[in-house]
Amino acid sequence: MKGRSALPRTAFLVGLLVVVAGGASVTWGRRVLTRVPAFKARTIEVVGARWLAPDAVLRRAAIGRQVSVWQDFSSVEVALARHPIIEDAEVHRVGLNTIRIVVREVTPLALVGVPDLRPVRSDGTLLPIDPLQAPLDLPVLTAPAEIDAESKALKDGAARRALEMFARLRDLDPGLAAVVSDFDLAASDGLMANLLLSQPARRLALPSRMDEKLVGRVRATLADLRNRGVEASLIEARYADQVVVRLSHSSRESGRPL
């Protein structure tokens, strides 16, 4: 009839199949829809990749261009999550002809020299990220470290213990962890961290066991030093319920009160 727009036959059939599939079981409906040529994937998107190149994600997923967007991608998600840089992945349909791969990558904790600088996770796992290719704003773990030939992770020892303590600091206060330039185990106990030059203290000594109250005291001490315009050579936070500040030589000579 003239004056009325006719729905294209392909779109009508697609809509009919979706309605029929929606009223049937999920398994049966998906099986039917995967056989419809109109649902073949034309585009595969990668979202969330920062350290991995999208092409590397696509190679790992190994999804063909002619696969249906209604396919079950659970095995692809498992394969992606096995990559050392990918924490987890989700693969789903977008529209009629697009597959979207959403990855959540692991977060490197620090750089460690083994002997070249390599990014490492809190559990000691070395990550296949080239610091020269991907800019990494991470503190450097200066404790001696060795790689276990079988697990490709750091061996148990001082480096692993220092990583665990720094990971605890980052969990408690990511902002404070972000101003650490490098860190190592303290000579006696705990963690010794050198801070960025933008901070009013050069070094920070932390106990092996940290909590929110301790981190809050350190934060308050840094704020107080900044407000007073003085610089400390060391903030010693390993004593029970107190923070001891050692002023730098220039601040002592200036006579500024703490």
Share of the chain above pLDDT 70, in %: 84
Q: Is residue 3 part of a domain?
A: no
Whole-number Å distance between alpha carbons of 90 and 100: 8
Tell me the average pLDDT across 228-252.
89
pTM given for the model? 0.74
Angle at the Cα of 129 (from 126 to 130), degrees rounded to 5? 120
227 and 146 fall within a common domain? yes
Give the CATH number of the domain where residue 99 resides.
3.10.20.310
Residue 194 belongs to domain spanning: 110-254
Whole-number Å distance between alpha carbons of 71 and 34: 6
* pLDDT score of 120 more than 50: yes
137 and 115 fall within a common domain? yes
pLDDT in tens, 205-214: 999 999 999 9
Residue with the larger pLDDT of the pair 202 and 131: 202
143 and 61 fall within a common domain? no
63 and 168 fall within a common domain? no
Q: Is residue 15 part of a domain?
A: no
Q: Is residue 177 part of a domain?
A: yes
Domain count, the chain: 2
Among the candidates 52, 85, 105, a domain finishes at: 105
pLDDT grade, residue 19 (50/70/90)? very low
87 and 116 fall within a common domain? no
pLDDT grade, residue 241 (50/70/90)? confident
- pLDDT, position 168: 97
Q: Is residue 1 part of a domain?
A: no
pLDDT in tens, 66-84: 899 888 999 999 999 999 8
* pLDDT score of 5 more than 80: no
- pLDDT, position 39: 85
234 and 177 fall within a common domain? yes
159 and 100 fall within a common domain? no
Q: Is residue 8 part of a domain?
A: no
237 and 141 fall within a common domain? yes
Q: Which residues neighbour 159 within 8 Å (Cβ) at sequence distance 6 or greater? A: 112, 124, 141, 143, 144, 145, 146
Q: Is residue 12 part of a domain?
A: no
119 and 38 fall within a common domain? no
pLDDT in tens, 27-58: 556 677 777 788 898 999 999 998 888 999 99
- pLDDT, position 18: 53
- pLDDT, position 14: 52
29 and 128 fall within a common domain? no
Whole-number Å distance between alpha carbons of 165 and 179: 15
Give the CATH number of the domain where residue 236 resides.
3.40.50
**With DSSP H G I counted as helix, E B as strand and the rest as coil, what are the percentages for the chain, rounded to 5?**
35, 25, 40
96 and 138 fall within a common domain? no
Please report how many Cα atoms fall inside a 13 Å half-sphere around the Cα of residue 59, on the Cβ side.
6
188 and 121 fall within a common domain? yes
